[in-house]
């Protein structure tokens, strides 16, 4: 891309495209003022040698910008160059959508999942078949604030026994909220970790207690936003689960009675 446009010309093109996307049509003088403003950057622009005294003039003559009495817009050719620039930057990105491939029974795979859950602040963990011992583990992550699961038999336990074990596990952190969707609800199927607001969700193909080969992957922000709306509705329709905790004795009862003088 450097062979096609110098940095200053690319900045002018991006400036106009950005404003056009927001419904703003800048004048030629606006664009010139933007690209000619003093910065700490040192530009090498082969077109600033007097042939084109203004960057906008070059871009218009190159038909990358279109000029009219209303202002300046990016031409189809200009947009094509911008899209090509985006592809080059994306191809050089180290971001990889697939995070982990493995089995939850592999301690390294499980540890990597926990690490990624811990990176999501105030996380909502969704697992329809969550085993009680896995709830104990994720409750050790301070990032986890809510857990949504189904009230059914799972992980080799009957429905009532599993519910009891989940309540006992929840007693370790009463600040975490656990909710049940009824067993006859088929809305809860995927295993997810969702942020409360902007961010990227995690998706894993098997339950935390599963043994199958699975993929743990990140979900883009747009898809995450759509999932948040769906699962917040499910959360509102679910039933809160009360933890089983140790009763705190009154201070008066814990004080040792004074001994009688002998």
pLDDT of residue 41: 42
User: Taking all residues of the chain, what is their mean pLDDT, rounded to a whole number?
Assistant: 78
261 vs 192, residue with greater confidence: 192
Q: What is the pLDDT of residue 244?
A: 92
pLDDT of 92 over the 60 cut = no
Q: Taking the model in full, what pTM does it have? A: 0.58
Cα distance between residue 224 and residue 238, in whole Å: 20
Give the domain ranges of the chain. Answer: 7-91, 98-240
- Residue 3 pLDDT more than 50? yes
Residue 168: per-residue pLDDT: 95
* The pLDDT value given to residue 63: 67
- pLDDT higher for 57 or 178? 178
- Contact at 8 Å (CB) between 204 and 103? no
The model's confidence at residue 212, banded by pLDDT at 50, 70 and 90, is confident
Architecture of the domain spanning 98-240: 2-Layer Sandwich (3.30)
184, 108 Cβ separation under 8 angstroms = no
User: What are the tens digits of pLDDT across the range 49-78?
Assistant: 444 456 677 677 766 788 888 777 877 767
Tens-digit pLDDT profile for residues 109-167: 888 888 889 989 899 999 999 999 999 999 999 999 999 999 999 878 999 999 999 99
Query: Looking at the domain 7-91, which fold is it?
Result: Arc Repressor Mutant, subunit A (1.10.10)
pLDDT digits (tens, 9 = 90+) for 238-258: 999 999 988 766 544 544 555
Which of 37-41, 187-191, 204-208 is least confident? 37-41
For residue 6, the model assigns a pLDDT of: 74
Q: What is the mean pLDDT of residues 74-100?
A: 59
């Amino acid at each position: 891309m450097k062979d096609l446009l110098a940095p200053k010309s690319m900045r002018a093109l991006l400036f106009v495209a950005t404003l056009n996307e927001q419904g703003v049509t800048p004048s030629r003088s606006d664009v010139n003022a933007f690209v000619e403003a003093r910065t700490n950057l040192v530009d090498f622009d082969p077109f600033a040698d007097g042939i084109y005294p203004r960057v906008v003039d070059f871009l218009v003559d190159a038909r990358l910008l279109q000029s009219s009495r209303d202002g300046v817009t990016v031409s189809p050719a200009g947009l094509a160059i911008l899209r090509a620039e985006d592809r080059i930057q994306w191809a050089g990105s180290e971001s990889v959508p697939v995070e982990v491939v493995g089995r939850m029974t592999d301690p390294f795979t499980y540890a990597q999942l926990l690490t990624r859950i811990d990176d999501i602040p105030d996380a909502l963990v969704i697992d329809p078949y969550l085993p009680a011992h896995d709830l104990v583990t994720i409750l050790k992550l301070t990032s986890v604030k809510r857990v949504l699961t189904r009230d059914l038999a799972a992980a080799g336990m009957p429905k009532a026994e599993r519910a009891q074990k989940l309540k006992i596990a929840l007693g370790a952190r009463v600040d975490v909220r656990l909710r049940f969707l009824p067993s006859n609800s088929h809305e809860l199927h995927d295993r997810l970790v969702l942020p409360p607001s902007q961010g990227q969700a995690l998706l894993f193909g098997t339950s935390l207690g599963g043994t199958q080969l699975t993929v743990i992957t990140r979900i883009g922000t747009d898809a995450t936003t759509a999932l948040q709306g769906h699962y917040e509705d499910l959360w509102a329709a679910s039933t809160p689960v009360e933890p089983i905790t140790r009763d705190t004795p009154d201070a008066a009862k814990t004080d040792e009675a004074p001994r009688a003088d002998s």
